Chain A
Amino acid sequence: TQLLEQSPQFLSIQEGENLTVYCNSSSVFSSLQWYRQEPGEGPVLLVTVVTGGEVKKLKRLTFQFGDARKDSSLHITAAQPGDTGLYLCAGVFFLRQFYFGTGTSLTVIP
């Protein structure tokens, strides 16, 4: 069992649609990160959120850290085929441990 549960596990949408991915845990983290992974490659960091309630925007991606620092969401506006990939949240414990979520596989259809 993994410490962080992501939902949905799979998502297939049309280009231009909006979507939200959720990352939930019963544990409190010192910070939370989101990564994206493409087939045959390792995950690549998208963002780190540190403060409860924090919202960060990266172009069409909006990341939010829950007030209690136990959960997070990723919202993509007007999805594009280039957004296709496996999205992973990772909870950081005390600046030493990175525990990854179960993953959300996103496919954006042109």
Chain B
Amino acid sequence: DTGVSQDPRHKITKRGQNVTFRCDPISEHNRLYWYRQTLGQGPEFLTYFQNEAQLEKSRLLSDRFSAERPKGSFSTLEIQRTEQGDSAMYLCASSLRPGTGAGANVLTFGAGSRLTVL
């Protein structure tokens, strides 16, 4: 397994455009998390899935943000009508569900997708 993969690594877009990020987690991991991080700050929780079910979504997440994990494997994060304030690194992480092994409760992160909104 090659770890958590995110695509694209960098995205530059104009204000008002829609963007979509993809995350491929470690194959046996059933939990998947999305975070947003600005430079020098800690990651801010956005949402997480267990298998295909979206179990929690941050109240800070506006209606312009939507995430899916249709078959419980890869996930997509879409931002509609992007704003300059959306510029950030979008991080994906995966983990095993608690009680399912030594890797449970440990987040494995991808390298992130950096979004720049002009």
Query: Which residues from chain A sit less than 8 Å from chain B, CB to CB?
Result: 2, 4, 6, 9, 31, 33, 35, 40-45, 48, 86, 88, 90, 92, 95-103, 105
B93 pairs with A2, CB closer than 8 A: no
Question: Shortest beta-carbon distance, B37 to chain A, in Å?
Answer: 8
How many residues of chain B get a CB closer than 8 Å to chain A's CBs?
23
CA distance A99 to B93 in the complex (A): 13
CA distance A70 to B106 in the complex (A): 19
Which residues 86-118 of B have a CB within 8 angstroms of A?
Answer: 91, 93, 98, 104-107, 109-112
Known contacts being A42-B110, A48-B106, is A100 close to B43, with CB within 8 Å? yes
The reply to whether the CB of B56 lies closer than 8 angstroms to some CB of chain A is yes
Which residues 49-84 of B have a CB within 8 angstroms of A?
Answer: 55-56
Known contacts being A42-B112, A98-B33, is A92 close to B105, with CB within 8 Å? yes
Closest-by-CB residue of B relative to A44 is: B109
CA distance A6 to B109 in the complex (A): 21
Q: Can you give 13 contacting A-B residue pairs, CB < 8 Å? A: A33-B106, A40-B111, A41-B112, A42-B91, A43-B91, A92-B105, A95-B105, A98-B33, A98-B45, A99-B45, A100-B42, A100-B44, A102-B42
